[in-house]
Chains A and B, each alone.
Chain A
Amino acid sequence: QKEVEQNSGPLSVPEGAIASLNCTYSDRGSQSFFWYRQYSGKSPELIMSIYSNGDKEDGRFTAQLNKASQYVSLLIRDSQPSDSATYLCAVNRYSSASKIIFGSGTRLSIRP
């Protein structure tokens, strides 16, 4: 079992709709959770971080965390063509040091 799992996609969503991206993790000791966006040929860039159960909203993005279910998700409202990218879920298994593990990413395509 991979430590961090994501559906590889591609996920195709019409412009203006809500895109929903999901991630599960295996280590119950994980403490910090991140969503990165990566455009083709570029470095990952952080778009959301979440540390406690519940929802966290930032503009069109909402991250949701459920530690009991070991599940973290990202919602993108009013999807735009510029949101087309690969979205990477990352988990920090912080104990004595930050060991950050990534999922394989979900490719999101916003169709006009």
Chain B
Amino acid sequence: NAGVTQTPKFQVLKTGQSMTLQCAQDMNHNSMYWYRQDPGMGLRLIYYSASEGTTDKGEVPNGYNVSRLNKREFSLRLESAAPSQTSVYFCASIKGDIESTDTQYFGPGTRLTVL
């Protein structure tokens, strides 16, 4: 099992460019998440998907869109990148079963710089 994978690992964009961050999990988890982490800010929830076909806004959704492509994959899109979106982006997944004592598994992160 690879767990949670993210691509790319590093990316540099110019202001106004667009890009999609990819995330996939092979643990048959129902729920997936996108977080951003800025220095000293902890993890802030951007969007999450409770199950295939559903997405919801988190704490800081502005400037981002997401797609839950299937149960395995959850992508994050920046339509017009801004320097304020320079951050480390983490994808995470959780089984999402109300009966379970869920553990959230994280991908390795994508380090994005917007110039």
7 inter-chain pairs at a CB distance below 8 angstroms, sorted by A residue, are A3-B59, A6-B42, A44-B106, A49-B101, A97-B31, A97-B96, A98-B48
4 cross-chain pairs, A with B, having the tightest CB-CB distances, nearest first: A97-B50, A104-B42, A102-B43, A43-B106
Residues of A in contact (CB 8 Å), total 25
Give every chain A residue within 8 A of B50 (Cβ-Cβ). Answer: 96-98
Among A49, A99, A105, residue most surrounded by chain B Cβ atoms (within 10 Å): A99
Q: Measured between C-beta atoms, what is the minimum distance from A58 to chain B in Å?
A: 13
Partner of B107, one of A43, A97, A99: A43
Instruction: Give the segment of A65-73, A74-82, A87-95 that binds chain B.
Output: A87-95
Q: What's the least CB distance linking B53 to chain A, in Å?
A: 12
Kindly list chain B residues whose C-beta atoms are within 8 Å of the C-beta of A102.
35, 42-45
Please, how many angstroms separate the alpha-carbon atoms of A48 and B103 in the complex? 10
Residues of the A chain whose Cβ atoms lie less than 8 Å from the Cβ of B58 = 99
